[in-house]
């Protein structure tokens, strides 16, 4: 009986199988970069409209921590407000929004607006850069492009800034 178990273990742990097992467990998005703008329904409509317009231009997602009032009824109010903001900023093709409290936790967002460019989805400090404060997306991208300790994120922030905001 022991010989069979040893043979099975040896077969399952061959180099070829170990590599495919590793590949199957690896995050397929580990090197992809994502941009997020963390907002709150407590921000003024003027601020949210400007951030939504900039998010659309930069290809970033706006992220809410939850629904208005944190209640199921707040879902309808949140949906209405997002639709109004999108209509005011971008017409029929509004910005991308999501309600995702896990992203707030992952990137340790405690104040809005906050701007994050992340590599993958680990949430490790060496995989994202963040800036918070009353500013537009263009200024946040410039700050990240100048200050990030992660070269891929610095490069991406500079690229998105140049493409989306350099002619303002």
- Give the Å distances, CA to CA, from 98 to 32, 39, 60, 95: 19, 10, 11, 10
Tell me which residue range forms the domain holding 60. 34-164
CATH number of the domain residue 96 falls in: 3.40.30
- Mean confidence (pLDDT) of the chain: 83
Asked if the structure places residue 5 within a domain, the reply is: no
Reported as a single tens digit per residue, the pLDDT across 3-61 is: 443 333 333 343 444 444 544 454 444 568 899 999 998 999 999 999 999 999 999 99
Asked if the structure places residue 7 within a domain, the reply is: no
Q: Which residue has the tokens 């040896």?
A: 10
Check the CA dihedral 64-69-73-79 and report its sign.
negative
Whole-number percent of the chain with pLDDT over 70: 80
Asked if the structure places residue 21 within a domain, the reply is: no
Check the CA dihedral 63-66-67-68 and report its sign.
negative
Number of domains in the chain: 1
Asked if the structure places residue 132 within a domain, the reply is: yes
Quote the pTM value. 0.79
Which is higher by pLDDT, 139 or 22?
139
In this structure, what DSSP letter does residue 112 have? S
List CB contacts of 24: < 8 A, sequence separation 6 or more. Answer: none
What is the chain's alpha carbon radius of gyration, rounded to the nearest angstrom? 21
CB 115, CB 130: distance < 8 Å: yes
What's the pLDDT score for residue 158? 94
Which is higher by pLDDT, 76 or 20?
76
The torsion angle over the Cα atoms of residues 148, 142, 64 and 55, rounded to 10 degrees, is -140
């Amino acid at each position: 009986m022991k010989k069979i178990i040893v043979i099975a273990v040896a077969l399952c742990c061959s180099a070829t199988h170990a590599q495919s097992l590793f590949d199957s467990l690896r995050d397929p998005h580990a090197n992809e970069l994502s941009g997020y703008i963390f907002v709150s329904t407590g921000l003024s409509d003027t601020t949210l409209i400007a951030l939504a317009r900039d998010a659309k231009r930069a290809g970033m997602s706006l992220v809410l921590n939850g629904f208005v009032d944190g209640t199921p009824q707040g879902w309808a109010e949140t949906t209405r407000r997002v639709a109004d903001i999108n209509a005011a900023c971008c017409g029929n093709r509004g910005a991308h929004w999501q309600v995702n409290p896990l992203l707030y936790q992952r990137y340790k967002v405690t104040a809005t607006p906050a701007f994050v460019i992340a590599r993958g989805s680990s949430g490790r400090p060496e995989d994202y850069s963040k800036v918070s404060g009353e500013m537009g997306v263009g200024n946040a991208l410039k700050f990240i492009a100048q200050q990030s300790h992660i070269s891929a994120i610095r490069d991406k922030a500079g690229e998105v800034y140049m493409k989306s905001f350099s002619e303002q």
